[in-house]
DNA sequence: TAGTTTTTTTAGATGTATCTAAAAAGCTGA
DNA sequence: TCAGCTTTTTAGATACATCTAAAAAAACTA
């Protein structure tokens, strides 16, 4: 029935999943190219191939969406990625800014038994170290009520529950201003010129640029 | 200085390492082809490439040996393979016949930090679940005094300390006759016709074929 | 609507890893 | 020593993943 996919094919599926997960209805060639860091021409080739394998729906000039099979595979990849991140963080004590890149490789190891044992070994965690929900082996997500910090009203009190980028640079910056999951913020000011915020956190005032605030996921608290 | 190697290149290095580790002085094209399960023609191509990268010494029709750089890389691969096997066995409770194939993939994950943290997390084990010694991060092996079961004299008492094949079939067979690391044997008979042995183990008599006995590593005890 | 710009696809190459078939080299035993 | 067998290499394909440049389609916008 189903042939094994190459790492590359898997990374494309995950990219399309990420893009269509939130706003976008279809994943455009250019968006995918940016996500997997390759040329648009390469993406077109791969979209044809994944379409032939019935993992995506793709028509020339109309972008791609995942089929049910594609969704299932992409969700399993996300599950593996996030469980490995928990392993690296909880068990091997890696800092949160170093785990994403290693998990990007570990997620391609192919064994359902392995990942289910790992899940169990880790105590069936429901969120990864960046606050993202971990799909169950049936592919179920636990969605959480969250907003981005740039969208909450002035004077609100919120708690950081996630970050939408996992890059080492971004997370290292958050470390430097002493911001981590669970950190509480009170919005003390909004600058409409550049959409930056002033917030109170751990008893100190911080300036948060829009570039940063739109990647911080918070809930009321 | 040093470019990253592909999984394939790494598997060839490990194959040459294994072949030249014991008896053979050089690894022949055919031996390597058998080890990595490919054609002799493909091996010739790869030997040229690894020679160009100064990881092996190779001359047409004369087989290959590892250079110091090649030895270093192959030893690190063996270290990674065996440490992952310990993880799968000790932490995830996989049976010993299922760990080799998964470790074959995990060994290619590229991070010194990862493998040193894993080593530490596992309590710096010195042997893997098949009884093979685990190289240190400096590439040092702890060699052990061992012989193959087919070479010990009649009436000897020995303990199983290792197995030289990690295939699921072989290890499942050992499970079926209740043989594991630490099992004690007393050689009660030798059949010179087919080199099979009769041994006493756990209070029962077992017939061990030569094919099996030459893959059982024992020490006196 | 008719440029103009942006996005996407096609065409044509390159590099890696593989294969089979055929040629060449090496080994061996009468 | 040389004929025949074995081993290894070469030659020529294929498949995959990638690229750049050019062409085509779609989307803006004046
Ligand atoms: Mn991640
Ligand atoms: Mn990946
Ligand atoms: Mn093994
Ligand atoms: Mn391997």
pLDDT band (50, 70, 90) for residue B24: confident
Of B94, B105, B110, the CB nearest to A109: B105
Query: What integer pLDDT is reported at residue A93 of this predicted model?
Result: 98
Let me know if the fold of B80-143 is the same as that of B147-220: no
CA–CA gap between residue B67 and residue A140 (Å, rounded): 50
Where residue B171 falls among pLDDT bands split at 50, 70, 90?
Answer: very high
Which residues of B sit within 8 Å Cβ distance of A?
88, 91-94, 98, 102, 105-106, 109-111, 113-114, 117-118, 121
User: Would you list the domain boundaries of chain B?
Assistant: 2-66, 80-143, 147-220
Strand D within 7 A of A38 CB: yes
Give me the sheet containing B157-163, strands edge to edge: B147-148, B216-220, B157-163, B184-191, B196-201, B204-208
pLDDT value at residue A192: 85
User: Pick from B98, B138, B99, B100: which is nearest to B119 by CA?
Assistant: B138
Min Cα distance A48 → chain B (Å) is 26
C1’ C15 / CA A26, Å = 33
* CA of residue B168 to ligand 3 center, whole Å: 10
Contact criterion met (CB < 8 Å) for A113 and B93: no
- Which chain A residues are within 8 Å of B94, Cβ to Cβ? 113, 117
Tokens 């064994």 locate to: A111
Residue the block writes with tokens 């990595």: B36
From the list A94, A111, A117, the residue facing B93 with the nearest CB is A117
At residue B136, the pLDDT reads 96
Of A192, A190, A169, A183, the residue nearest A216 (C-alpha): A183
Task: Calculate what percentage of chain A has a pLDDT beyond 90.
Answer: 89
**A27, A20 Cβ separation under 8 angstroms:** yes
Q: What is the mean pLDDT of chain B?
A: 94
Which CATH number describes the domain made up of B2-66? 1.10.10.10
What does the block give as tokens for B134? 């685990």
Q: Distance between CA B183 and CA B177 in Å, rounded? A: 11
- Report residue B92's pLDDT band, with 50, 70 and 90 as the boundaries: very high
Cα B88–B94–B96 angle (5° rounding)?
95
Positive or negative: CA dihedral B45, B47, B52, B55? positive
Q: How far is CA A157 from the centre of its chain?
A: 24
Residue A143: the pLDDT is: 78
Q: To the nearest whole angstrom, how far is the Cα of A73 from the nearest Cα of chain B?
A: 19
- Neighbour-count burial for A84-104, b at 16+ CB within 10 Å, e otherwise: bbbbbbebbebebbbbbebbb
Nucleotides of C under 7 A from a protein CB: 7-12, 16-22, 25-26
Strand C lies under 7 A from the Cβ of residue B42:
yes
For tokens 């997960």, name the residue: A21
> Angle at which helices A68-86 and A7-21 pack, to 10 degrees?
100
User: Distance of CA B149 to CAs B24, B168, B218, Å?
Assistant: 21, 20, 6
Q: Round to a whole number and report the distance in Å from the CA of A29 to the C1' of D30.
A: 28
pLDDT for A1 equals 40
Question: What CATH topology corresponds to B147-220?
Answer: SH3 type barrels. (2.30.30)
Q: Give the Cβ contact number of residue B124 at 10 Å.
A: 11
Q: What's the fold here for domain B80-143? A: Arc Repressor Mutant, subunit A (1.10.10)
Q: How far is CA B162 from CA A163, B34, B146, B179, B217, in A?
A: 48, 23, 9, 11, 5
The pTM for the full model equals: 0.94
More confident residue, A193 or B220: B220
Q: Angle at which helices B68-86 and B7-21 pack, to 10 degrees?
A: 100
pLDDT of residue B202: 87
Average pLDDT over residues A53-61: 96
- pLDDT, one tens digit per residue, over B39-67 is 999 999 999 999 999 999 999 999 999 99
């Amino acid at each position: 029935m189903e042939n094994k996919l190459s790492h590359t094919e898997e990374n494309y599926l995950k990219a399309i999943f990420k893009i269509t997960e939130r706003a976008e209805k279809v994943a455009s060639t250019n968006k995918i190219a940016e996500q997997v860091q390759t040329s648009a021409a390469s993406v077109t080739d791969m979209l044809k191939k994944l379409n032939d394998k019935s993992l995506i729906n793709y028509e020339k000039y109309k972008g791609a969406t995942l089929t049910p099979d594609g969704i299932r595979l992409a969700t399993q990849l996300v599950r593996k990625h996030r469980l490995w991140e928990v392993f690296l963080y909880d068990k091997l004590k890696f800092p949160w800014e170093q785990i994403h890149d290693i998990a990007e490789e570990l997620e391609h190891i192919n064994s359902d038994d392995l990942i289910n044992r790992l899940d169990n070994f880790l105590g069936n965690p429901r969120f990864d170290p960046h606050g993202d929900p971990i799909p169950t082996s049936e592919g179920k997500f636990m969605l959480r009520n969250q907003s981005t910090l740039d969208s909450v009203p002035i004077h609100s009190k919120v708690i950081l529950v996630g970050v939408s980028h996992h890059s080492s640079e971004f997370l290292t910056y958050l470390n430097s201003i002493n911001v981590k999951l669970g950190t509480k913020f009170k919005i003390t000011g909004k600058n409409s010129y550049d959409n930056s915020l002033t917030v109170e956190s751990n008893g100190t005032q911080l300036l948060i640029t829009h570039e940063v605030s739109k990647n911080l996921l918070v809930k009321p608290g």
